Amino acid sequence: MARDSTRHLKEALSAWQQARDLRASGRTIRSGLAYQRGVNALLLYRTQPARTASEAGRTARADFGPVFHALGALTREGVPVMADARSRRFASLHARTGLAAAHLADPSRGVPEAIGPTLSTTSESLTRIAPGDEAPVPPDERIAGAAASRLLMARLMADYPAVLARERRRWTVVDSEPLTFVRERRRFRAAVLPDCVGLDFRAEVRRLAGDGERIYTELTRALPHYREALERAREERAAILALVGD
């Protein structure tokens, strides 16, 4: 029997919608578990063998862009629910997965000075992977997602340092071919952004929060409608620094 190449994608979207429905009905714990299933299903979709015969024998890294953006969006939505359900360990692991994925989906690769030139030269939108029939993902949304994932990770680290301080082995995020599911999940859960390599715990928190604000600052210069998001980012960075110190 031929492999259903979209099975894991369908599972991810089903779990994502279920998580939203459960959250809306106030069932926080079950919603958090459904979000986790969605994350794992997206990683399974990324790591399965060539999805169609036409893809066999060729590298299709560009095809992973929608999956990376979806992982970032799903974790930004689901991690706060996991934390509210007191699943702080898994919240932190999935936040790191989303941090790495959002960075890989970002066309500016997290360099604030590159945002203006990137938006002036890049107009390609990605297919949106999400419940429902939604519009494609423009470059600015991917950049904003990378900023938001940085701020989310920094906030978790500041709020729950005893949980995250256990991490030892780290994977520097780089665009590469997927490994088997177990190995891919392990390295995404231990992701560290290139600009954070070598930083201690508090310095990484400050870098993530600061970069999140700087990305929104440059995004707002290019696209003024991000002004409100920038103000929220500034408030969030200030709250994070109050927890870990300048």
> How many CB atoms sit inside 10 A of residue 101's CB?
30
How many Cα atoms are found within 13 Å in the side-chain-facing hemisphere of 152? Answer: 29
User: Cβ(67)–Cβ(58) under 8 Å?
Assistant: no
- Percent of the chain at pLDDT > 90 equals 77
Identity (one letter) of the amino acid at 35?
Answer: Y
CB 206 within 8 A of CB 244: yes
The answer to which of 36-40, 140-144, 178-182, 235-239 has the lowest mean pLDDT is 178-182
**What is the pTM (predicted TM-score) of this model?**
0.91
Average pLDDT over residues 38-62: 66
pLDDT at 50 over 90: no
Question: Residues near 164 by Cβ (< 8 Å), separated by ≥ 6?
Answer: 92, 156, 157, 201
Q: Tell me the pLDDT tens digit for each residue of 186-242.
A: 999 999 999 999 999 999 999 999 999 999 999 999 999 999 999 999 999 999 999
Q: Which is nearest to 179 in space by CA: 168, 188, 170?
A: 188
What radius of gyration, in Å, describes the C-alpha atoms of the chain? 17
